[in-house]
Structure 1
Amino acid sequence: MTTVNANGIALGIESFGDDDAPLVLLAGGPTMLSWPDALCEHLAVGGRRAVRYDLRDSGESTTADPEAPAYTLRDLAADAAALVDALGGGPAHLAGIGVGGMVAQVAVLDHPGAFSALTLVGTRAVAPGPPDGDLPDHDQATMSRLFARPMPDWTDREAVAEFAATGAEILGDDPVAARAIAARVWDRTPGTAPPVQTANQMGMVFSRLDCRPRWRERLPEIGIPALVVHGRRNRFFPVGNGEAIAREIPEARLLVLEEAATAIPDAAVSEVAEAMLTLG
């Protein structure tokens, strides 16, 4: 892992595969560890340079004030394009998971020359907050359970890992995997202040971002190959969100993972990686 300067900030990255291979850029959701190690390794074996990176205010990337971010969703999209240029691998296959998928959609719309293909995993085509009327919202019973839990002691690594495990169980993800990833995220988080921890562990900084203007209506402008991956059991962004994106991006392929929720489970890594390799 290292950092690369792009768009005037430092972005934490980790690279897998040959530096001269075609680039697949993996936008974190919000940290790079949202992307499984095994998927990155599979892409590298498939002849790609897989580079996963931390969004601002997470991991090794520039952290300022997660409670009052002085940047917008469009700035995060510009970060992705600038990172491609800094890595020298353009145009690149861009992939985003969760909130990183929102970044990826705006990036390919605002910077089409930087990208050759697009993969979106477990995301939606509208900003955080109430969705459009035709899109399913978060499952409210799940959200009530998720946010009824008291916040952990963010200075306690094990308490944070346990908090992530119980959250994963509520969401339908693997609590053992979530516990391990949360501990790794904690190790990479620059400080234990609650705003910094919630930005890294929960992506809460996104609730404070300026995400205007809307981009859903522009999805038909996307002219590169696109893959939309969504878990059938996703209660945070129900599968109808992925189905809508796949309908609205011309000729997009929809891959529904029947046994998945918000994360890419180990059992689906090979299927997702192979679909991405086929895309470009």
Structure 2
Amino acid sequence: MRHANGVDGSRIAFQTEGDGPALVLLAGQANNHHWWDGVRADFQTDRQTITLDYRGTGDSDAPERRYSTQGFADDVVAVLDTLNVEQADVYGTSMGGRVAQWVAVRHPHRVRRLVLGCTSPGGTHGVERDATVHAGLADPDAAQARRFLLELMYTPEWLAENPGPYTVLGDPDMSARAKKLHFTASARHDAWEELPEITAPTLVVHGDQDVFNPTANAPLLAERIPNAELRLIEGARHAYFDEFRAEASPMVLDFLLS
């Protein structure tokens, strides 16, 4: 386990595997690097994959101050600096896609190619999940809330054949305070005005059955980012990259290698 120092001195844990050009993989809200466990190997035949534990998760520090997607992006750059990686491809999913937007906006020379998966521009232009989704996630019965989240991530057919364990349901060791800070950081994300500044070639990927982060956000991003490509995966929910890895991973690799 290695650590980088964030701009405020917080220690940010990161992990590297494989050899070759750098590919940063950014996880969803309140998750650590294990989000990528199911598919990481797909990208390592000719890539060095880089993951990190967001502050508040995994082996990173959990400062009490406010978190933001901009701040998480600065932590990503701190990791690249520690590794002496001048430029990398960046693939972010869910909140990781929001973080990736800021990496590309604020540090354009550090991003060669950008992939935004199951994510949103945020703010008033982003399409919010509906009230029934909020209610299901807030179910006071923890087992019911967990099942509801699983069915937002995966199709019932896939869940029936794959009983777990699942790595995309949040870091189980996070404090309640850190979870709240993550939720607020993601909820306050708004990169709409800055998205046209992205210069890296960009691929937007989304499951066409995603109601957790509604699919309608994908064309918004693709239209707002200059020359971005849009690909929807038929039948996929939020964790398209995991359940539909046989389609999604080659799609992303083809884009990165093109």
TM-score by length of 2: 0.84
In structure 1, how many angstroms separate the alpha carbons of the residues matched to 2:148 and 2:81? 39
Residue 52 (structure 1) aligns with: 51
Q: Is contact 1:227–1:279 with CA below 8 Å preserved after alignment? A: yes
Residue 227 (structure 2) aligns with: 251
Q: Is contact 1:119–1:227 with CA below 8 Å preserved after alignment? A: yes
Q: Is contact 1:94–1:104 with CA below 8 Å preserved after alignment? A: yes
Shift of 1:96: 1.2
In structure 2, how many angstroms separate the alpha carbons of the residues matched to 1:226 and 1:124? 14
Residue 248 (structure 2) aligns with: 272
In structure 2, how many angstroms separate the alpha carbons of the residues matched to 1:147 and 1:178? 22
- Structure 1 residues 185 and 111 mapped into 2: Cα distance closer, same or farther (>3 Å)? same
- Structure 1 residues 276 and 177 mapped into 2: Cα distance closer, same or farther (>3 Å)? farther
1:136 has 2:127 as partner = yes
Residue 156 (structure 1) aligns with: none
Residue 80 (structure 2) aligns with: 84
CA RMSD of aligned residues (A): 2.7
- Structure 1 residues 73 and 267 mapped into 2: Cα distance closer, same or farther (>3 Å)? closer
Give the SS at the match of 1:259: coil
Q: Percent identity?
A: 25
Pick the aligned partner of 2:182 from 181, 195, 206.
206
Q: What whole-Å deviation, never above 9, does each CA across 1:190-210 have from its counterpart, x for those lacking one?
A: 6xx4334xx2xxxx4234339
Structure 2 unpaired stretches of 5+: none
In structure 2, how many angstroms separate the alpha carbons of the residues matched to 1:116 and 1:109? 12
Q: Is contact 2:122–2:192 with CA below 8 Å preserved after alignment? A: yes
Residue 167 (structure 1) aligns with: 149
Q: Is contact 1:172–1:234 with CA below 8 Å preserved after alignment? A: no
In structure 2, how many angstroms separate the alpha carbons of the residues matched to 1:148 and 1:212? 23
In structure 2, how many angstroms separate the alpha carbons of the residues matched to 1:184 and 1:99? 12
Q: What whole-Å deviation, never above 9, does each CA across 1:9-37 have from its counterpart, x for those lacking one?
A: 2222232212xx100011221322222x2
1:73 has 2:69 as partner = yes
In structure 2, how many angstroms separate the alpha carbons of the residues matched to 1:213 and 1:123? 11
In structure 1, how many angstroms separate the alpha carbons of the residues matched to 2:251 and 2:194? 24
1:147 has 2:138 as partner = yes
In structure 1, how many angstroms separate the alpha carbons of the residues matched to 2:163 and 2:51? 18
Residue 155 (structure 1) aligns with: none
- Structure 1 residues 22 and 268 mapped into 2: Cα distance closer, same or farther (>3 Å)? same
- Structure 1 residues 75 and 240 mapped into 2: Cα distance closer, same or farther (>3 Å)? same
Give the SS at the match of 1:181: coil
Shift of 1:213: 8.4
Q: Is contact 1:171–1:235 with CA below 8 Å preserved after alignment? A: no
In structure 2, how many angstroms separate the alpha carbons of the residues matched to 1:136 and 1:94? 23
Shift of 1:273: 2.1
Q: What whole-Å deviation, never above 9, does each CA across 1:33-63 have from its counterpart, x for those lacking one?
A: 222x242101102x11111222111112111
Give the SS at the match of 2:49: strand
In structure 1, how many angstroms separate the alpha carbons of the residues matched to 2:188 and 2:38? 35
- Opposite residue 14 of structure 1, the aligned amino acid is Q
- Structure 1 residues 171 and 271 mapped into 2: Cα distance closer, same or farther (>3 Å)? closer
1:219 has 2:195 as partner = yes
- Structure 1 residues 208 and 170 mapped into 2: Cα distance closer, same or farther (>3 Å)? closer
- Opposite residue 15 of structure 2, the aligned amino acid is E
